Amino acid sequence: MAKDSMKYYATGRRKTAVARVWVFPGEGKILINRREAEGYLMRPTNLKLVEQPLVVTGTREKYDVWATAKGGGLSGQAGAIRLGIARALLRVAADYREPLKSAGYLTRDSRKVERKKYGRRGARARFQFSKR
């Protein structure tokens, strides 16, 4: 199998969303859960987020992306797909590490929703203090 016809796989995570991402040579199509990215992600900001690793490496028109995303909301899924694309591009060529790393696309955003505590109204909410 020629190197140019290979598929490169990586996993991305963000909040409670998990994305499995395959990157392979093509003309720049992005499919998420078997739908076009524009139709799936709804917001242009989410689409821009997903495209960032491809734009920074100058490979937007060279590779197709096929992704399956589960869990979380659309913004979390978009962040997970972005990380997955960045990790998959590293497998394509190690030269992409420098631009991806300096742009911060290889760092997993580990923030999650803090759990609600018992006896309280929310994760951090406290009952109103009364002096008298």
Model confidence pLDDT, tens digit, residues 123-132: 999 888 888 7
pLDDT classification of 106: cutoffs 50, 70, 90: very high
Is residue 51 situated within a structural domain? yes
- Return the bridge partners of 11, or none: 20
Q: Which amino acid is at 78?
A: A
In this structure, what DSSP letter does residue 17 have? Answer: E
Is residue 123 situated within a structural domain? no
Is residue 29 situated within a structural domain? yes
Domains in the chain, number: 1
Is residue 130 situated within a structural domain? no
Which CATH number characterizes residue 22's domain?
A: 3.30.230.10
- Return the bridge partners of 95, or none: none
The pLDDT value given to residue 3: 62
Instruction: Report the distance separating Cα 60 and Cα 7, nearest Å.
Output: 16
Is residue 129 situated within a structural domain? no
| The two three-digit tokens of residue 83, written as one number | 């990380």
pLDDT classification of 64: cutoffs 50, 70, 90: very high
Is residue 38 situated within a structural domain? yes
Is residue 122 situated within a structural domain? no
Task: Read off the pTM.
Answer: 0.90
Is residue 70 situated within a structural domain? yes
The pLDDT value given to residue 2: 57
Instruction: Report the distance separating Cα 88 and Cα 7, nearest Å.
Output: 9
Structural domain including 19 reads: 3-103
